[in-house]
């Protein structure tokens, strides 16, 4: 092969055979050629890396972390709460706005273990996100994929680290199940991911110490890990347990006045920059004033920027020491002003996939509804909002009443339909069954509404896309016939003697009139199940990170499809046999399944909370809007307040 650049003296000439050829004018560093792999784990990891990168790039954009001139925060390994010096021969230093240098500093650590410490609002999660994205920019073939997971749900006394990580991978990235039921477990046990565990301080103190001990037992010397935690909580945890062995601890340095000035100057609209001049002069002149001390943390700097970006009141009010005599008074003022400033801004632009444009929300109502959300999470002792746990904010009798009402309407419709088909229907028997079962349904739904039933995960590895549909359809048909035949044998053995014991003119005819319709419907039902619902559980698109709206839609779709299979079967069986027993028994069974679904409980809860004025009727849309405004953040299928300080502030204000 030869190649010559016209008009120059450069000429490339290759003789013999070569598997890979790279031509370039200048090459800096090594050249890595990665061949495509057929190993399911390698393919799954490649898609996982893309999904993680897309997820946290979007979240970083929502947080304004990808601005051309972000706030510069210096992180240094100066914290005394670390392992023995001989176990951590390496140093970590970097600026938050230099992500490539952060990644290089992390890779230079011998064990690649990092504990990120700081006070509330120091930017610990921000550093974790930026470091994760920087590491994903250059991933060697054998490098583990960094995955950021909130540690709040881990119970180290009850669940091994690998079991918990596998479960969180399946929850946050359900597309992994395309590659097998055990793919997440294999990825974790083969140490192909690097956990980035956010918020060790968000679990109880005994669990913090237990978590550090469990991590030391589960990690090998070559396992990298990143943990974020508040300094005070980590100090307590290591006193009660142990440090994270061989880990470098880093701490955020206070943001310098020059960094604050540079950031606010570059991020403020030019026509409003002059209003900041008195503040700039003040923080350079008075280093120990309340305003200067407040603006030493990234959180407060970002809040000040958001609050005064479009406010008619200039930020010079922060210098009023009579109104704000100390640092905490300024911080509370900024936290109080954040939601009104965010919700006074014009409505958010339409988002792809939305049916309609976001409606504007009143700042007062939004603040009230977010305060209710904060109190709801406090009662559950968590910072994670899971939509399927909203039922805990609803009185139990509401679920019993709605179940009874739905059952009553269904029975009434069934009675009218049966009367039109068969005028000899025994309505006294139907009425007695209704009264009995309605009481049972009310009690059952009222007592079981507190039980946590997670949403149906609309993914499974039962059917691989690579299978030919004709082969799959034949297997489904053969297995369904075999299943139906087996059910027929069981039915005849168990019910046949009972029917023959009755004084019937033709027991065989009676047995056939009940068995044949039932078996036909069993066959049809199994074919519908295998052909629709099981295929629905097979992901057909590229793997994306799980989100709250996606999990809600998935749970609703699966439940609707199951009902779409069961209801026609019940109607067909009733019309075929002319028996009132079918609706009398079948309707409660179908309703029992439907009323225990996560989607139904969420729907009842949001209607009740909207009627009582605590949340908007379109709650999920409100939460999506809050995420886009920067009030909430997404962590897999969960929402969290973007700032824990804001969460705590709303709680304190409500009390």
CA of 566: how far to CAs of 86, 249, 402, 529, 563, in Å?
Answer: 66, 57, 21, 10, 5
SS3 72: coil
Give the per-residue pLDDT at 521. Answer: 53
What span, in angstroms and rounded, lies between the C-alpha atoms of 166 and 614?
36
> Is residue 187 domain-shared with residue 283, that is, in the same domain?
no
What span, in angstroms and rounded, lies between the C-alpha atoms of 541 and 411?
41
Domain containing residue 155: CATH number: 3.40.50
> Is residue 214 domain-shared with residue 267, that is, in the same domain?
no
Q: Give the tens place of pLDDT for each residue, 364-394.
A: 899 999 999 999 998 888 888 989 889 888 8
Q: Are 8 and 14 in contact (CB under 8 A)?
A: no
pLDDT tier for residue 464 given thresholds of 50, 70 and 90: very low
> Is residue 92 domain-shared with residue 165, that is, in the same domain?
yes
């570059």: which residue's tokens? 266
- Is beta strand 74-76 parallel, antiparallel or unpaired with respect to 11-13? unpaired
Closest residue by Cα to residue 597 from 550, 542, 558, 640 = 558
Q: Are 287 and 117 in contact (CB under 8 A)?
A: no
> Is residue 105 domain-shared with residue 175, that is, in the same domain?
yes
The residue among 2 and 216 whose pLDDT is bigger is 216
Domain containing residue 372: CATH number: 1.10.10
What span, in angstroms and rounded, lies between the C-alpha atoms of 75 and 13?
50
Closest residue by Cα to residue 545 from 277, 170, 209, 188 = 170
Give the per-residue pLDDT at 463. Answer: 36
Q: Give the tens place of pLDDT for each residue, 569-625.
A: 777 766 666 665 666 666 766 776 777 778 888 999 999 999 998 999 999 999 999
Instruction: Give whichever of 85-99, 329-343, 429-443, 484-498 has the largest mean pLDDT.
Output: 329-343
Domain finish residue from 208, 223, 252: 252
Domain finish residue from 235, 252, 269: 252
pLDDT tier for residue 489 given thresholds of 50, 70 and 90: low
What span, in angstroms and rounded, lies between the C-alpha atoms of 584 and 129?
56
- Is beta strand 193-198 parallel, antiparallel or unpaired with respect to 225-230? parallel
287 domain residue, yes or no: yes
- Is beta strand 93-95 parallel, antiparallel or unpaired with respect to 74-76? antiparallel
CB-side exposure of 256: number of CA atoms within 13 Å?
A: 8
Q: Is the pLDDT of residue 160 over 90?
A: yes
């958001």: which residue's tokens? 306
> Is residue 202 domain-shared with residue 129, that is, in the same domain?
yes
> Is residue 204 domain-shared with residue 331, that is, in the same domain?
no
List all residues 6 or more positions away from 146 whose beta carbon is below 8 Å from its beta carbon.
52, 131, 132, 135, 136, 193, 194, 196, 226
Q: How many domains does the chain have?
A: 3
> Is residue 98 domain-shared with residue 223, that is, in the same domain?
yes
What span, in angstroms and rounded, lies between the C-alpha atoms of 418 and 412?
10
Average pLDDT taken over every residue of the chain: 76
Which of 29-33, 115-119, 330-334, 422-426 is predicted with the least confidence, judged by mean pLDDT? 422-426
Residue 638 bridge partners (DSSP): 635
Q: Are 114 and 106 in contact (CB under 8 A)?
A: yes
Give the per-residue pLDDT at 34. Answer: 55
Domain housing 642? 363-394+614-654
Q: What is the mean pLDDT of residues 199-227?
A: 90
273 domain residue, yes or no: yes
> Is residue 307 domain-shared with residue 384, that is, in the same domain?
no
Give the per-residue pLDDT at 335. Answer: 92
274 domain residue, yes or no: yes
> Is residue 92 domain-shared with residue 140, that is, in the same domain?
yes
561 domain residue, yes or no: no
> Is residue 241 domain-shared with residue 267, that is, in the same domain?
no
Q: Give the tens place of pLDDT for each residue, 116-139.
A: 998 888 889 989 999 999 999 888
Q: Are 437 and 407 in contact (CB under 8 A)?
A: yes
CB-side exposure of 90: number of CA atoms within 13 Å?
A: 19
Give the per-residue pLDDT at 120. Answer: 82
């Amino acid at each position: 092969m030869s190649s010559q650049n016209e008009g120059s003296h450069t000429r490339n000439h290759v003789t013999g055979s070569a598997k890979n050829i790279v031509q370039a004018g200048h090459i800096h560093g090594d050249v890595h050629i990665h061949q495509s792999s057929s190993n399911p784990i390698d393919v799954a990891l490649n898609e996982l890396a893309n999904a993680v990168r897309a997820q946290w790039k979007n979240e970083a954009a929502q947080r304004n972390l990808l601005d051309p001139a972000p706030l510069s925060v210096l992180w240094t390994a100066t914290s005394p709460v670390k392992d023995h010096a001989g176990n951590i021969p390496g140093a970590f230093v970097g600026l938050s706005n230099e992500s490539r240098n952060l990644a290089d500093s992390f890779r230079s650590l011998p064990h690649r273990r990092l504990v990120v410490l700081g006070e509330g609002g120091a930017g610990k999660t921000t550093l974790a996100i930026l470091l994760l994205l920087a590491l994903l920019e250059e991933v060697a073939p054998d490098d583990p994929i960094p995955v950021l997971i909130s540690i709040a749900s881990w119970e180290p006394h009850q669940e091994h680290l690998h079991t918990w990580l596998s479960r969180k991978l399946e929850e946050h990235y359900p597309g992994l199940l395309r590659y097998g039921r055990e793919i997440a477990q294999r990825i974790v046990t083969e140490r192909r991911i690097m956990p980035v565990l956010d918020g060790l301080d968000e679990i109880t103190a005994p669990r913090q110490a237990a978590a550090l001990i469990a991590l030391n037992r589960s990690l090998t010397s070559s396992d990298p890990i990143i943990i974020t935690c508040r300094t005070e909580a980590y100090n307590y945890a290591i006193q009660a347990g142990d440090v994270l062995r061989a880990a470098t601890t880093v701490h955020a340095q206070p943001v310098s006045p020059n960094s604050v000035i540079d950031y606010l100057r570059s991020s403020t609209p030019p026509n409003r920059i002059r209003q900041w001049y008195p503040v700039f002069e003040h923080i350079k002149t008075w280093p120990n004033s309340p305003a200067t001390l407040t603006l030493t943390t990234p959180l407060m700097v970002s809040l000040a920027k958001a609050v005064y970006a479009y406010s008619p009141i200039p930020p010079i009010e922060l210098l009023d020491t009579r109104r704000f005599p100390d640092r905490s008074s300024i911080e509370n003022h900024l936290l109080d002003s954040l939601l009104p400033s965010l919700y006074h801004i014009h409505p958010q632009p339409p988002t792809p996939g939305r049916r309609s444009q976001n409606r504007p929300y009143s700042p007062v109502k939004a603040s009230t509804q977010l305060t209710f959300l904060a109190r709801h999470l406090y009662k559950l002792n968590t910072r994670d909002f899971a939509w399927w746990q909203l039922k805990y904010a609803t009185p139990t009798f509401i679920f019993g009443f709605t179940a009874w009402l739905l059952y009553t309407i269904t029975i009434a419709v069934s009675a009218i339909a049966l009367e039109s088909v068969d005028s000899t229907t025994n309505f006294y028997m139907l009425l007695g069954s209704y009264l009995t079962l309605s009481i049972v349904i009310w009690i059952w739904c009222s007592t079981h509404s507190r039980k946590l039933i997670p949403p149906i995960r609309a993914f499974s590895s039962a059917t691989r896309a690579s299978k030919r549909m004709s082969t799959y359809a034949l297997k489904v048909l053969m297995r369904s016939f075999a299943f139906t035949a087996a059910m027929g044998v069981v039915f005849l053995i168990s019910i046949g003697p009972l029917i023959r014991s009755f004084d019937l003119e033709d027991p065989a005819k009676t047995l056939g009139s009940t068995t044949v319709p039932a078996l036909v419907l069993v066959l049809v039902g199994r074919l519908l199940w295998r052909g629709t619902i099981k295929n629905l559980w097979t992901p057909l698109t590229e793997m994306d990170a799980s989100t709250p709206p996606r999990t809600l839609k998935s749970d609703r779709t699966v439940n609707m499809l199951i009902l779409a299979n069961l209801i026609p079967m019940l109607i067909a069986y009733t019309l075929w046999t002319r028996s009132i027993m079918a609706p009398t028994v079948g309707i409660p069974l179908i309703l029992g399944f439907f009323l225990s679904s996560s989607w139904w409980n969420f729907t009842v809860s949001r209607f009740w909370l909207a009627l009582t004025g605590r949340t908007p009727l379109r709650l999920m849309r409100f939460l999506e809007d809050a995420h886009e405004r920067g009030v909430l953040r997404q962590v897999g299928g969960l929402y969290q307040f973007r700032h824990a300080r804001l969460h705590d502030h709303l709680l304190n204000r409500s009390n």
